[in-house]
């Protein structure tokens, strides 16, 4: 039974999306401001640290865009494949097909963000994402099945159709119009539109067509990231899928709400805030690496081998460190030393303002001291 309300692509005015630009202008301004802060911050880190955060953020994006679709990837294999695609040193592990495929897409997206978007590019991305799959009829090309392409939930006897895409016979026509729109609205196009607005429309427009048999969500999010990078004029490191994955239900609810009509201000406001939150997460990662570099500069030559090993392990946990803080037991496991030596090492790290301690005895927990100025200032009496 056809839906009582036609899908967006069935409207006579499709694809003339409508939105309130005045509501989006503040988000566009914040995006440009935050992007400028990020660009300034990343100039202050070494090439090695820049490589590290690039691999970390790209792998995080790949893990999350896959998890949104229910696919769980191996982080170590994925990072190894990404490093290999960048030409960076890595191990010689055998990479599973899924990890290898998405690594190629993400690195291509980063390195060639300014290449025109075409049927060929999209088909190559989809083929890489489906690497190793043997259950699909159409890989590396638009879908051809005469069966309806639907997003469905519920039981077999009482299904709920969340969305139905255009028939496969109409996909080439819709995609030609989409690619023409994408080209015209870009920074050098005949009718450019603001960065966040274009990226948000591009994602919704593409997934409304749903041109592939599988992988549309992942390709759609890649298109959005490409649009953001094109708007900025440089490769973007924005953890978009991480923030979407954290509130996956909201993401799908917003898509469903906006696939029945052409007024999409609600979707664009959601998308803009999601991008800003993702950019803030990226900024936090860069600031963490800057603090890490300053930490090691400050303590160079002052740490023994055990302390260096433990500190390196804490840094690997990221900005939030160990959940609940590093315990003496953690230190013992990391270093393999004796309890007495561990106690001396930890006390020494606190004295050197490398770690901050909370709690006492068995309840003592330690965290990296990345802002040591306050702890190094002499205390003054108020009496």
pLDDT at position 335 is 96
State whether 119 and 55 are in the same domain: yes
Residue range of the domain that includes 92 = 8-287
pLDDT at position 92 is 85
Q: What is the CATH number of the domain that holds 35?
A: 1.10.3290.10
State whether 191 and 318 are in the same domain: no
State whether 103 and 226 are in the same domain: yes
State whether 329 and 274 are in the same domain: no
Helix (H, G, I), strand (E, B) or coil at 365: strand
Longest dimension (CA), the chain: 84
Q: Is residue 22 part of a domain?
A: yes
pLDDT at position 379 is 41
Q: Is residue 155 part of a domain?
A: yes
Q: Could you give the CA distance from residue 322 to residue 157 in angstroms, rounded to a whole number?
A: 48
pTM of the model: 0.84
Domain boundary (287, 311, 329) is at 287
- Write the DSSP assignment of 156-183 as a string of letters: SSSEEEEEEPPPGGGHHHHHHHHHHHHH
> pLDDT tens string for the chain (383 positions)?
444 568 999 999 999 999 999 999 999 999 999 999 888 888 877 888 788 888 988 999 999 999 999 999 999 999 999 999 999 988 888 999 999 999 999 999 999 999 999 999 999 999 999 999 999 999 999 999 999 898 887 777 777 888 999 999 999 999 999 999 999 999 999 999 999 999 999 999 999 999 999 999 999 999 999 999 999 999 988 889 988 999 999 999 999 999 999 999 999 999 999 999 999 988 887 888 788 888 998 999 999 999 999 999 998 887 777 778 899 999 999 999 999 999 999 999 999 999 999 998 888 999 999 887 644 444 443 33
Q: How far apart are the first and last CA of the chain?
A: 81
Number of domains in the chain: 2
State whether 196 and 256 are in the same domain: yes
Q: What are phi and psi of 176, to 5 degrees?
A: -60, -40
Q: What is the CATH number of the domain that holds 330?
A: 1.10.10.10
Q: Is residue 98 part of a domain?
A: yes
pLDDT at position 4 is 58
State whether 37 and 172 are in the same domain: yes
Q: Is residue 54 part of a domain?
A: yes
Q: Is residue 233 part of a domain?
A: yes
10 Å CB burial of residue 15 (0-12, 13-18, 19+) is: middle
């Amino acid at each position: 039974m056809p839906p009582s309300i036609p899908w967006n692509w069935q409207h006579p005015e499709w694809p003339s999306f409508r939105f309130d630009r005045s509501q989006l202008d503040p988000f566009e301004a914040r995006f440009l401001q935050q992007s400028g802060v990020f660009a300034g911050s990343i100039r202050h880190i070494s090439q090695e640290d820049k490589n590290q955060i690039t691999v970390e953020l790209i792998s995080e994006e790949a893990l999350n865009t896959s998890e949104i679709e229910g696919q769980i990837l191996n982080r170590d294999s994925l990072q190894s494949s990404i490093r290999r695609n960048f030409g960076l040193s890595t191990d010689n592990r055998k990479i599973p097909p899924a990890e290898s495929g998405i690594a190629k897409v993400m690195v291509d997206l980063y390195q060639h963000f300014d290449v025109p978007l075409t049927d060929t590019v999209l088909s190559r991305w989809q083929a890489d994402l489906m690497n190793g799959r043997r259950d699909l009829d159409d890989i590396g090309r638009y879908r051809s099945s005469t069966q309806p392409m639907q997003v469905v939930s519920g039981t077999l006897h009482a299904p709920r159709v969340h969305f139905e895409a255009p028939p496969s016979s109409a996909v080439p026509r819709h995609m030609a119009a989409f690619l023409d729109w994408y080209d015209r609205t870009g920074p050098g196009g005949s009718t450019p539109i603001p960065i966040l607005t274009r990226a948000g429309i591009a994602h919704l427009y593409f997934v409304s067509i749903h041109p592939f048999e599988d992988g549309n969500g992942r390709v759609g999010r890649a298109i959005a990231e490409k649009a953001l990078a094109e708007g900025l004029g440089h490769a973007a490191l924005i953890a978009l899928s991480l923030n979407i994955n954290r509130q996956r239900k909201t993401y799908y609810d917003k898509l469903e709400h906006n696939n029945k009509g052409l007024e999409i201000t609600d979707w664009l406001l959601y998308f803009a805030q999601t991008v800003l939150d993702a950019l803030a997460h990226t900024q936090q990662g860069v600031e963490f690496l800057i603090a890490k570099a300053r930490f090691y500069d400050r303590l160079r030559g002052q740490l023994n081998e055990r302390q260096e090993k433990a500190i390196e392990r804490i840094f690997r946990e990221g900005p939030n460190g160990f959940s609940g803080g590093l315990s003496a037991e953690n230190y013992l496991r990391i270093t393999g030393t004796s309890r007495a030596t561990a106690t001396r090492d930890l006390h020494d790290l606190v004295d050197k303002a490398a770690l901050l301690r909370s709690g006492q005895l068995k309840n003592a927990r330690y965290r990296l001291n990345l802002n040591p100025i306050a702890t190094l200032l002499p205390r003054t009496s108020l009496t």
